[in-house]
Structure 1
Amino acid sequence: MRVDYLIVGAGFTGATLAERIASQLDKKVLVVDRRFHIGGNAYDEYDENGVLVHRYGPHIFHTSSKKVWDYLSRFTEWRPYYHRVRAVVEGKEIPLPFSLASLRKLFSERLADKLEEKLLAQFGYGSRVPILRLKEVQDEDLRFLADYVYRNVFEGYTLKQWGLRPEDLSPSVTGRVPILVSYDERYFQDPYQAMPREGYTVLFRRMLQHPNIRLLLGVDWREVEGEVRFDRLIFTGPIDEFFGYLHGPLPYRSLRFRFKHHPRPWFQEVGTVNYPNEHPFTRITEFKHLTGQAYLPHTAVVYEYPEAYEPGRNEPYYPVPREENEERLRLYQKEAEKLKTVLFAGRLGDYRYYNMDQAVARALKVFEEVARG
């Protein structure tokens, strides 16, 4: 077989690049994925009871990029959806991110008034304050709030999710779960928030249906490398794996999922409930909130159990952002620079904690570089 581009990985990064190269450059593309489906971790399918479930955990689409939104809108209609998350703290369900509404759920009216007044004076309404930054303020009452939220909301969840304390992670992670100085109970505040009306797998199928694109699923790319002639390779898998762990493995976190069916219309009031302190799992997500399948008389949920990544046993979901890992990554990036016909991109190829929209934005940028030659 002869193609212009071999793309390894059929997730958001690989699919976006395949579609752009095939449709805009009129090049032949072969997309290879060792899984037996397209969509990467965003893959969804109907379970035996007709609920559309996300097999690799919940994927909620949100973005502030009109460019990304407009691009994906070519392949799907959208169902407006604002994700809402709660956390169980001292037996009470409170809104996340921790906000002024959360104050009202946990503290007396007098204390909540006092803390709200100080948050507004210090940061202003609508601010998103990273918890580690709040711990550094001088005000005694705000320090109390920071310590409380850190201990009851942030620390336990981070230890379960990452196997590390918050201080041992990059600020790019700790800044993702701020205190929100407002009464907005949406988990995200991006201007574009929605779910693909027919699901992610249908979206990917439309992206990859161009006649210049061929798919090969259920095989490792190295199994076909000698049988496929290509000009350029785009690799979206783990960069350390590509180089045979030459400089040692880069650490990732993985997840284990337990799906459960319930013969009743609803299981919980919001899409996701976090358990930062109790139970070995981190959160429970109910898919009907995400998919809009309110008409079904039964429901399905998934429990998420973080665990260490072990090649061959589970999937690498999250690069672990720490300075020592960045040093090792730079060694692999130097190896990559020596390869004139290979490009690396995506969460695993770049070793970056991308959201879905960030993965698409990165792929669109890489395509611009490819198009310029």
Structure 2
Amino acid sequence: MSIAKGLPEGFNPSAYDAIVVGAGYAGAVCARRLAEACGYKVAVLERRDHIAGNAYDYYDEAGILVHKYGPHIYHTYNERVNQYLSRFTDWVDYQHKVLANIHGTLMPVPFNHTSLKLAFGEEKGEHLYQKLVAAFGQDKKVPIMELRAKNDPELAEVADYVYENVFLHYTMKQWGKTPDQIDPAVMGRVPVFVGDDDRYFPQAPFQGMPKDGYTAMFDRMLNHDLISVFTGVDARDILQMGGTSVKVCGQPFGGEVIYTGALDELFGMDLGALPYRTVDMVFETLPVDQFQPVGTVNYTVSENFTRITEFKNMTGQVVPGKTTIMREYSRTYLPGMGETPYYVINEPQNIELYRRYLERVSGVLNFHVVGRLAEYRYYDMDGVVASALELSDEIIGNH
């Protein structure tokens, strides 16, 4: 692999069999698989000045490994995804736990046995828990809509508490909505966990942190003699969409193009901008060994930020006397301003707008869209990898 900043003078697209736009999960997985399985020479074009997309991590001035674009917690049920990524990293065991700061008391979320006793007191909390066990069994996730369906005032009280203190205000901050704008069907899916397991992903068989960090994992994935990575390159400056073909640097390109960016940006947002939520992330290094007991604390009823992440609690890094935390402030994404679009706003009119953009590329030969932005959907990391594996399967199968 070679990594260069910018395109070299005289860059010749026809020297490559495939052009991949984006060096995040979708792009890196596809680039590696096409190089290995097809012997393709691949050019990866990355707008940012680094690889690894939103999973990019680096050592800050305090020497602490931080995630620049927010906490990335690896977990998956997909054995193929896990096997593929494990080629490029060893894993450090990490079982993610989240606490909610509810009026100054830290309670596990999803709401569980411990949370009930903290919220309602030891005796009443245990009583409510036993009612939940009797109604639903142990180690079950039960949506609060199902609690209400029992027509039991005490179970309804649990549902109301979780809705008000765990979900409602947090959702208002996260999505910029008022209570009447929040879909009751979404509210009804908020779970209570009838059990003591306080892990955030209790059923996921594969979870942890990459031993040397995410960026190192991507570096290994892209480290192939047939892959060249060019950072600081905005593909919109050299890609031209026309009819059923793609031009690169003004010349027709006959190879595969894998596009992982936002489709509306590819067309200058001429049909309108696809809406997202973005997040302002504020980092702070503190002169203490540990700031909070777990990796993530959600502020569900107070503060104007949504959560605080403490990276050492996730990576297991030992740095005595100092720690770096990050606060997240959710707000509306402003298109065309260089901001990072994080969360798709999954409403019918937005999905329809995306489909209109997608129709404009659907007839373009050998042009493929994959990933969180290009597919306009929210993915966990493993979902992006699974989608990229499926796309590359298809391209390899047609090779």
* TM-score by shorter chain over 0.5: yes
Q: Mapping of 1:6-155 within 5 angstroms?
A: 6-155=19-168
Contact 2:117 2:123 (C-alpha < 8 Å) held by counterparts: no
For 2:286, the equivalent position in structure 1 comes to 262
For 1:326, the equivalent position in structure 2 comes to 351
- Superposition deviation, residue 222 in structure 1: 2.3
State the distance in 1 between where 2:372 and 2:223 align: 24
1:197 aligns with 2:197: no
Q: 1:23 to 1:67 in 2, by over 3 A?
A: same
Q: Mapping of 1:220-231 within 5 angstroms?
A: 220-225=234-239, 226-227=248-249, 229=253, 231=255
For 2:390, the equivalent position in structure 1 comes to 365
More moved, 63-72 vs 337-346 = 337-346
More moved, 277-286 vs 132-141 = 132-141
Q: 1:188 to 1:170 in 2, by over 3 A?
A: farther
Q: 1:149 to 1:9 in 2, by over 3 A?
A: same
Q: 1:166 to 1:53 in 2, by over 3 A?
A: farther
- Superposition deviation, residue 332 in structure 1: 2.6
1:276 to 287, 290, 300: 300
Query: Secondary structure of the equivalent of 1:7?
Result: strand
Query: Secondary structure of the equivalent of 2:326?
Result: strand
Contact 2:23 2:51 (C-alpha < 8 Å) held by counterparts: yes
For 1:303, the equivalent position in structure 2 comes to 327
- The one-letter code sitting in structure 2 at the alignment partner of 1:276 is T
- Superposition deviation, residue 96 in structure 1: 1.2
- Superposition deviation, residue 175 in structure 1: 8.2
- The one-letter code sitting in structure 2 at the alignment partner of 1:304 is E
Contact 1:166 1:174 (C-alpha < 8 Å) held by counterparts: no
- Superposition deviation, residue 108 in structure 1: 2.2
For 1:349, the equivalent position in structure 2 comes to 374
Q: TM-score, normalised by structure 1?
A: 0.94
Deviations 1:269-304 (A, max 9, x none): 111111012111111111111111124331111111
Query: Secondary structure of the equivalent of 1:346?
Result: coil
State the distance in 1 between where 2:56 and 2:187 align: 27
State the distance in 1 between where 2:340 and 2:254 align: 28
Query: Secondary structure of the equivalent of 1:98?
Result: coil
Larger Rg: 2
Contact 1:43 1:54 (C-alpha < 8 Å) held by counterparts: yes
For 2:232, the equivalent position in structure 1 comes to 218
- Superposition deviation, residue 131 in structure 1: 3.9
More moved, 285-294 vs 169-178 = 169-178
Query: Secondary structure of the equivalent of 1:302?
Result: strand
State the distance in 2 between where 1:17 and 1:263 align: 42
Instruction: Report the number of matched residues.
Output: 373
Query: Secondary structure of the equivalent of 2:155?
Result: helix
Q: Which runs of 5+ in 2 are unaligned?
A: 1-11, 240-247
Query: Secondary structure of the equivalent of 2:396?
Result: helix
- The one-letter code sitting in structure 1 at the alignment partner of 2:227 is I
For 1:294, the equivalent position in structure 2 comes to 318
Contact 1:169 1:322 (C-alpha < 8 Å) held by counterparts: no
1:209 aligns with 2:223: yes
- The one-letter code sitting in structure 2 at the alignment partner of 1:348 is L
Contact 2:260 2:372 (C-alpha < 8 Å) held by counterparts: yes
- The one-letter code sitting in structure 2 at the alignment partner of 1:223 is D
State the distance in 2 between where 1:340 and 1:125 align: 53
Q: TM-score, normalised by structure 2?
A: 0.88
For 1:336, the equivalent position in structure 2 comes to 361
Deviations 1:233-268 (A, max 9, x none): 111111222233243222111011111011121111
State the distance in 1 between where 2:213 and 2:189 align: 26
State the distance in 1 between where 2:254 and 2:57 align: 31
Q: 1:12 to 1:167 in 2, by over 3 A?
A: farther
State the distance in 1 between where 2:46 and 2:188 align: 33
Contact 1:64 1:192 (C-alpha < 8 Å) held by counterparts: yes
Question: What's the C-alpha RMSD, in Å, of the aligned pairs?
Answer: 2.1
